[in-house]
Amino acid sequence: MRTQVAIIGAGPAGLLLSRLLERRGIDAVVLESRDRAYCERRQRAGMLEQGTVDVLRACGAADRLDREGLTHHGLELRFGGRGHRIALSELTGGKAVTIYAQTEIVKDLIALAPEGRIRFGAEVVEVDPVTPRVTYRENGRLHTLDCDLIAGCDGFHGVSRAAVRGSTVFEREYPYAWLGVLADVPPSTEELIYCHHERGFALHSLRSPQVSRLYLQVDPTDQPSDWPDERIWAELRTRFATTDGWTLKDGPIREKAVTPMRSFVTEPMRHERLFLAGDAAHIVPPTGAKGLNLAVSDVTALAGAIADGGLDGYSQSRLRQVWRAEHFSYWMTTLLHTDPTADAFARRLQLSHLEYVVSSAAASTTLAENYVGFAYDGR
């Protein structure tokens, strides 16, 4: 088989790249080892920057997002039993973010794809970035896909990253993880609450007027089975407690999962005719929800570069933006989590930093402009 662009991975990066190329009349095939149900079920983050919404809209993939997405103009930082609103829109000249789950974007993009363009159950067994060629197994048989270039959109654990030679890797692990919970209960808040507590970070997000999305900082060795529903709600109540009697509504928990936290960048995001995008090239810790937004800007740039022949500048221009998001995600994570290895001095510094962020217009603006999505002039 032959195509112009062989896309490995049907997550948001691969699916959106396929859509963007389709709109430009460029032929592509998406190879995905899992089945469709698995791809559509995976729960991930759900906070979209304006630029992400704009890209989805421009390629005709935002009908449901426009109907069901929730626009947010602010967020709350909570610590010491008190909440502090960060007025995102006021601080950024009117920018806002949209709450719409990544898994819904995946469903929308799959539904739009032409018949045969996405091959589920196609496991890539070899990536040859020089020829370039991808070998994959489908229904027990090996096939080869020749192409002009390969887009590696198969995440941190995928085959694409492993096929890159001679790159430099930058990495950081954190002494905590997130327990993510989806609960059938109306959100107890209109805006997201990022909460710092000495027992650990907690985040109250939402999915709809009936569904809440909550996260708790847990030990990286914890399993979901260590966290029965009652323990989760008790811990959330403790961490979110305020001095003015705010209450957290609880309800049936539909899903729980533990996500490890790491920072990771591979440079360059290219090897020969293989181009990496999204989690295959970089990972951010989830605080601030930059992962999906970065993946969307990667593939937007990649689609443009494929169309106009600007592929040589892809890695360098993306890495500048990637490192901004890396720093912001690291900053927001270390600002809000409780590091079990931190000494008393470090904890006092952290509390002072939090006080400063909510008290200084300059510091709140730093948070806000990165949170809604900071782009360097000229990209």
Q: How many residues bind ligand DHB (CB under 6 A)?
A: 10
Of 187, 215, 286, 337, the catalytic one is 286
Contact set for ligand DHB, span 163-192 (CB under 6 A)? 192
What dihedral angle (degrees, nearest 10) is formed by the CA atoms of 301, 302, 308, 310? 90
Please answer whether residues 324 and 23 qualify as being in contact, where contact means their C-beta atoms are separated by less than 8 angstroms: no
In whole angstroms, how close is the CB of 270 to ligand DHB at the nearest point? Answer: 28
Of 194, 197, 282, 337, the catalytic one is 194
Among 78, 95, 213, 282, binds ligand DHB (CB under 6 A): 213
Q: Which residues contact 373 (CB under 8 A, 6 or more apart)?
A: 49, 50, 51, 52, 95, 293
Residue 72 bears catalytic tag = yes
In whole angstroms, how close is the CB of 294 to ligand DHB at the nearest point? Answer: 13
List the one residue out of 38, 37, 41, 21 whose CA is nearest residue 29.
Answer: 21
By beta-carbon proximity to ligand DHB, the closer residue of 286 and 373 is: 286
By beta-carbon proximity to ligand DHB, the closer residue of 46 and 158 is: 46
Among 33, 52, 205, 212, binds ligand DHB (CB under 6 A): 205
In whole angstroms, how close is the CB of 99 to ligand DHB at the nearest point? Answer: 6
Q: Which residues contact 41 (CB under 8 A, 6 or more apart)?
A: 103
Options 44-52, 144-152, 256-264, 311-319: segment touching ligand DHB (CB under 6 A): 44-52
Give the whole-angstrom CA distance, residue 157 versus residue 154: 7
Of 72, 95, 196, 197, the catalytic one is 72
Please answer whether residues 283 and 17 qualify as being in contact, where contact means their C-beta atoms are separated by less than 8 angstroms: no
In whole angstroms, how close is the CB of 205 to ligand DHB at the nearest point? Answer: 3
Contact set for ligand DHB, span 281-340 (CB under 6 A)? 286-289
Please answer whether residues 234 and 200 qualify as being in contact, where contact means their C-beta atoms are separated by less than 8 angstroms: no
Of 197, 204, 290, 337, the catalytic one is 290
Which single residue brings its beta carbon nearest to ligand DHB?
205
Residue 371 bears catalytic tag = yes
Give the whole-angstrom CA distance, residue 163 versus residue 152: 9
List the one residue out of 33, 73, 286 whose CA is nearest residue 180.
Answer: 286
- The position carrying tokens 């490192």 is 323
By beta-carbon proximity to ligand DHB, the closer residue of 132 and 187 is: 187
Q: Is 101 exposed, middle or buried (0-12, 13-18, 19+ CB in 10 A)?
A: buried
Residue 256 bears catalytic tag = no
Residue 248 CA, chain-centre distance (Å), reads 26
By beta-carbon proximity to ligand DHB, the closer residue of 205 and 263 is: 205
Q: Which helix (H) or strand (E) holds 240?
A: helix 229-240
Residue 290 bears catalytic tag = yes
Residue 285 bears catalytic tag = no
Among 10, 47, 265, 276, binds ligand DHB (CB under 6 A): 47
By beta-carbon proximity to ligand DHB, the closer residue of 47 and 122 is: 47
Options 14-22, 45-53, 103-111, 340-348: segment touching ligand DHB (CB under 6 A): 45-53
By beta-carbon proximity to ligand DHB, the closer residue of 43 and 315 is: 43
Residue 208 CA, chain-centre distance (Å), reads 19
CA 152-154-157 angle, to 5 degrees, is 120
Instruction: Please list the active-site residues.
Output: 72, 194, 286, 290, 371
User: Interface with ligand DHB by CB under 6 A: which residues?
Assistant: 45-47, 192, 205, 213, 286-289
